[in-house]
Chains A and B, each alone.
With several copies, the nearest count.
Chain A
Amino acid sequence: MRFTFTPAQDAFRAEVRGFLRSEMEAGTFSPRCGDLFQTGSREFSRKMAERGWIGMTWPREHGGQGRPYVDKAILMEELFRVQAPIGYHFLADRQVGPALIHFGSKQQKEFFLPRIVRADEGVSFCLLFSEPNAGSDLAGVATTALRDGDEYIVNGQKVWTSRAHVADFGWLLARTDPDPSANRYRSVSEFIVDMKSPGITVRPIVNMAGESNFNEVFFEDVRVPAASLVGEENAGFKQIMAQMDYERAGLERLMQNYPLFEQLKQHVRDMDPSETPETLRAWARDQVAQLEIEYSVGRLLCYYTAWTIDQGKTPTAQAAMCKAFCTRYEQKVNDVASQILGPVCQIRRGDPWSPLRGDLAESLLWGPSYTLQGGSVEVLKNIVALRGLGLPRK
């Protein structure tokens, strides 16, 4: 038992922090709440790649560093703390790589893994999962990929696809057994699709924050080589569920509005007793302490999940618990911060009167999405009950 980091881990954290500090001083980015996964540049990713910070947990034979998930968690915590612009490689690093390592063909591994790890040009990914009628219910996708000789022909529509307009490849989930009587959990497959393929149309969706951070993607007779199938045909649902465990456990579910929380604490520290009603100060003190408690709990839960993976276990229920817990905390931060700041919480970034560097208003805009991404809280709790506690389904 050791509830703290090793000196090597402390040194690693310091190294990451130093790198980020110098990037911020050079004006590469500044810590601001908003869309954590959208912002990014290949340039920034390349610098991280140089330091071995992409594919860190992957085995060495796949170009990774073979380092534990706890080390990766330290890296991610530091990145999220300042909301570093990691969008170019984030999804490939978190999801695509591990999935390929588990399920990919030799050629897929050899082509993609080294390129992702180096943050080469042309290997940015988007995830083509959700559909208008299949959000959390991935077994219900209607987009079809039908075998035609050496190719699959894809038709259908995806939605809520972050970065589809800039990504080079899409990680596609599609129905390969279109028979309506087929077992829905054994009739979908995963593919890697070149986003420049003829027949793909990307249309941005403007979100409530007024940004087009995600897209609709239309497929019209898009031809995909059979070699782009990942893993087994019709085994896509099983494969993707395994991937989700890793998606859900990350600190990104705790720290989407981390800079806001830091500023809120500072704001409460700085509140002038002569200008602040005593009632507000007492309330703010109690509430911010509760947030700090929940943050500490969530952080420990994230590291615990990383450690569990390092023990060679699949953290299904734990990861679901982690995400359900952490995203609720994030929404509470928004609520408490707005009540402490009052009406000015509405003033958006850019205006001189926007409080907490504009992070409050932006976080309020993004708040509703926290508990939706990667499985709604409801679905996550079902997973905890069914997989973790063994409760009956029927």
Chain B
Amino acid sequence: MDFGLDEQTSIVKDTARRFFREQCPPSRVREILATEEGYSKDIWRKMAGLGWLGLLNNEAYGGAGGAFLEMFVLVEEMGRALLPSPFFTSAVLSSWLIEEAAGQPRKETLLPRMIRGETILTAALLDHQGRDDFEDPALDAHQADSSRYELTGTRLLVPFAHVAEGILLCAKLQGREGHGPTLFLLDPATEGLEMVPLNTLTKEKTFALRLDRVGIDADRIVGDIGKGGIYMDRIRPGATVFKCAEMLGGMERVVEMTVAYVKERHQFGRPLGALQAVHHACADMATCLETARLIATQAAWLLSQGLPADKETATAKAWCNEAYKNCTAIGHQLHGAIGFTEEHDMHLYSQHAKASEMAFGASWFHRSRVADQLGI
């Protein structure tokens, strides 16, 4: 057992902390959210320059060769800063899916450009009900002619689709070459694709896609026909754990902010933080944070070593979901009305907590996966 960060990982974490503190203070978060793009091209370029867009990719394409733990701490710092950016959907999900699924030529075309920050992809994981349906997609791909398919269905909550060069989505293919869940890389400019901006809690740019017999060429299939679910299965545990990292960062900031506030704020003639109820609430927050950090880092380490981690991943997500939620609830309670104002940062974190709780499975889902692992 060794719970300490390696030097290399520590350096990434410290660098990221400094970088986001300078580049993306809370005031900047609000500004970026209000722009049309919903992210800062300037920050994106700088992140590319730091090599952060290719942490998971092969060195052959300019990546860092699967720097899993570095990615973990980097995403944690992003969560802390609440950086609005397509990083998760592009540099985590999409570039990894391409890495796992695509053939050599597509990798060579796409990955170096993605890693250099020249292009962005996004992944459309959720069906019309908001369910992750890679196993059995509610999106249909019917063969139109020998080299063309038609896509029909709805995708929800597709982040940054408006700035992406391509949208990865999984459709149930029925065709001459085979059938089953198949990964496609859709061009957002494709005729007939309707892209509706969604107004959500976090204000992150995200879209509904309506596809009604939208044509797509067969050469836009990524990887093998019928293997969409398998590709997604390869990246889902890691993606889940990176989502935990993002939550950890947010949680840490909420605890810091709240503890600082109760130390300074006076009520009934003494600091709020001298009340026993406040002691206990803060102790609960600190416990949530410390335990979430341990359990998420454990899963990350196991995955980084290529060790089995199904149970640990499910445990981590189930625990982080509840821990972050508890922390923001306590944070709001202790901040009182001030935390409920638009100008305060507290609510940015509570929206983030809710959005990330929902991503890659709510707690009931992960408890059920733990139960599976226990054979019950």
Contact between chain A and chain B defined by CB under 8 Å: yes
Chain A 334-354: CB-based contact to B (< 8 A → 1; otherwise 0): 010011011111111011110
* A182 in contact (CB, < 8 A): no
- On chain B, the residues within 8 Å of A353 by CB distance are 128, 130, 156, 198, 208
* B368 in contact (CB, < 8 A): yes
Chain A 139-156: CB-based contact to B (< 8 A → 1; otherwise 0): 010000000000000000
Contact of A391 among B269, B274, B365 (CB under 8 A): B274
Within 8 A of B (CB), among A129-186: 130, 133-137, 140, 159-160, 184
CA–CA, A300 to B270, complex, Å?
37
Given contact pairs A343-B157, A361-B201, A392-B263, A5 touches B276 in the complex (Cβ within 8 A): no
Find out whether the CB atom of B297 lies under 8 angstroms from the CB atom of A3: yes
- On chain A, the residues within 8 Å of B358 by CB distance are 338, 342-343, 345-346
Q: How many A-B Cβ pairs are below 8 Å?
A: 267
Find out whether the CB atom of B156 lies under 8 angstroms from the CB atom of A286: no
- On chain B, the residues within 8 Å of A393 by CB distance are 274
Find out whether the CB atom of B341 lies under 8 angstroms from the CB atom of A207: yes
Q: Which residue of A lies closest to B341 (CB)?
A: A205
- On chain A, the residues within 8 Å of B273 by CB distance are 385, 391-392
* A288 in contact (CB, < 8 A): yes
Looking at chain B, what size class is its interface with the partner chain?
35 or more
Find out whether the CB atom of A364 lies under 8 angstroms from the CB atom of B1: no
* B371 in contact (CB, < 8 A): yes
Find out whether the CB atom of A300 lies under 8 angstroms from the CB atom of B295: yes
Contact of A70 among B1, B271, B283 (CB under 8 A): B1
Find out whether the CB atom of B364 lies under 8 angstroms from the CB atom of A279: yes
Contact of A371 among B201, B269, B290, B333 (CB under 8 A): B333
CA–CA, A340 to B350, complex, Å?
18
Find out whether the CB atom of A1 lies under 8 angstroms from the CB atom of B3: yes
Within 8 A of A (CB), among B354-376: 354-355, 357-359, 362-365, 367-368, 370-371, 374-376
Central interface residue in A285, A344, A364, by most chain B CB within 10 Å: A344
Find out whether the CB atom of A297 lies under 8 angstroms from the CB atom of B295: yes
Find out whether the CB atom of B342 lies under 8 angstroms from the CB atom of A381: no
- On chain B, the residues within 8 Å of A3 by CB distance are 1, 3, 297-298, 301-302
Find out whether the CB atom of A301 lies under 8 angstroms from the CB atom of B290: yes
Find out whether the CB atom of A1 lies under 8 angstroms from the CB atom of B5: yes
Find out whether the CB atom of A372 lies under 8 angstroms from the CB atom of B336: yes
Q: Which residue of A lies closest to B276 (CB)?
A: A382
Find out whether the CB atom of B367 lies under 8 angstroms from the CB atom of A348: no
